[in-house]
Amino acid sequence: MSESQIVAMTMPKWGLSMTEGKVMEWLVEEGTDLSLGDDVLDIETEKIANTFEALDAGILRRQVADPEDVLPVGALLGVIAPLEITEDEVDAFIVTFLANYVPPEPEEEQEEGSGGYEELEANGYHLRYSKMGTGDKIILLVHGFGGDADRWLFTQQPLSSNATVYALDLPGHGQSTKNIQDGSVEGLAKTVIAFMKVLDIGSAQLVGHSLGGAIALKIALIEPALVSRLDLIASAGLGPEINNEYIQGFISTDSRKEMKKLLQKLVADPDLVNRSLVNDMLQFKRTDGVNAALKTISTGFIGDDGNQSDIMKEELHQLPMPVRIIWGTKDEIIPSAHAESLPPNIEVNLLDGYGHLVQLEAASEVNELLAS
């Protein structure tokens, strides 16, 4: 038997905090000839459900994991092998894999560039961030309102294969300082600029989602030399309309039922919002200082009329760096119509059938764009 012809399909690690995943449904049958990137099975994590895509081409010879199985990262899901490999050889491979597999330790020491949370002080804030990869290209991911670095659950690691990728918790979010000094878009942008300078990041591809898009855009306008490329995903700052009912509901609710309804507005497929994500968001909301921080930030970019107050659409033509827009057409928070009538030098990508969290729902499509 040539073991090099047999490929183990294993539970992926999506995000720094993921230790296990639940197999929801196989999307292909045994015997399917898989191409790279084909949808193979749905997996639910502690944050959100997602579809596992084939990382190797070949024939799916065996489904080892069953629906409802909860398995640690690296556990065997299935086996890919050519037809000349016998069933006995596949069986022997599975037995050997299971006999030698050891689940990773949750607190296992991270190698340099492999991830892990770090902290620093910038612009009067204590900021938590993660860093993946060691490539010369620098990418900085800036999340949106109510999010944290985990909004890049399916983005940071794939992009880190040939780049150094940072993701931070903005002030008022995640594990960063909750006492907000300046909740305006410009104030938050100056904090991210300070973050970059503490880390000696001379220039980076800025990727901003929602409010993070407005922050990234403001950075590009304030200090364009810091931005090699600007990627705006479902971005604020490009038009007045925003679902202020969602924003205010997110700030005020302490109900699991209401939080689930709100979070489902972020995605086109409501089944992606699982109980763990709802609990995680409620736990964040109940942290001391969070509600005050969210109120300060919301009033910093939403006016008394319930619309966005810091619109930078007309300033896009000033930017010297390449600018790309990515938007889901079913966005219920900020309308994708804001991507219309932009300067001709702006690249616009509308992904049909996805919601506001398009980087989670259409991770492969978004990652392919961001890496190009």
Tell whether 183 and 233 lie within a shared domain: yes
Tell whether 89 and 123 lie within a shared domain: no
Q: What is the per-residue pLDDT for 115?
A: 53
Residue that is last in its domain, among 73, 100, 127: 100
Q: What is the per-residue pLDDT for 292?
A: 95
Tell whether 85 and 130 lie within a shared domain: no
Whether 275 is in a domain gets the answer yes
Whether 107 is in a domain gets the answer no
Instruction: Give the residue numbers spanning the domain of 79.
Output: 3-100
Whether 305 is in a domain gets the answer yes
- Contact yes or no for 227/321 (Cβ under 8 A): yes
Whether 109 is in a domain gets the answer no
Q: Which residues of the chain have pLDDT under 50?
A: 1, 107-114
Residue that is last in its domain, among 44, 65, 100: 100
CATH number at residue 350: 3.40.50.1820
CATH number at residue 76: 2.40.50.100
Q: What is the per-residue pLDDT for 14?
A: 77
DSSP string, 256-323: HHHHHHHHHTT-SSGGG--HHHHHHHHHHHTSTTHHHHHHHHHHHHB-TTSSBS---GGGGGG--S-E
Tell whether 183 and 288 lie within a shared domain: yes
Tell whether 86 and 221 lie within a shared domain: no
Whether 177 is in a domain gets the answer yes
Whether 111 is in a domain gets the answer no
Tell whether 309 and 274 lie within a shared domain: yes
Q: What is the per-residue pLDDT for 111?
A: 46
Helix residue ranges, H only, 121-236: 156-159, 185-198, 211-222
Whether 133 is in a domain gets the answer yes
Residues 6+ apart with CB under 8 A from 289: 172, 178, 179
Tell whether 152 and 223 lie within a shared domain: yes
Q: What is the per-residue pLDDT for 150?
A: 84
Residue that is last in its domain, among 74, 100, 126: 100
Whether 108 is in a domain gets the answer no
Tell whether 196 and 243 lie within a shared domain: yes
For 244-302, the pLDDT digits (tens) are 999 999 999 999 999 999 999 999 988 888 787 888 899 899 999 999 999 999 999 99
Number of domains within the chain: 2
Tell whether 59 and 13 lie within a shared domain: yes
CB atoms within 10 A of CB 70: 12
- Contact yes or no for 285/222 (Cβ under 8 A): no
Tell whether 211 and 285 lie within a shared domain: yes
Q: What is the per-residue pLDDT for 364?
A: 86
Tell whether 121 and 266 lie within a shared domain: yes
Q: What is the per-residue pLDDT for 53?
A: 85
Q: What is the per-residue pLDDT for 114?
A: 45
Q: What is the per-residue pLDDT for 280?
A: 86
Tell whether 178 and 309 lie within a shared domain: yes
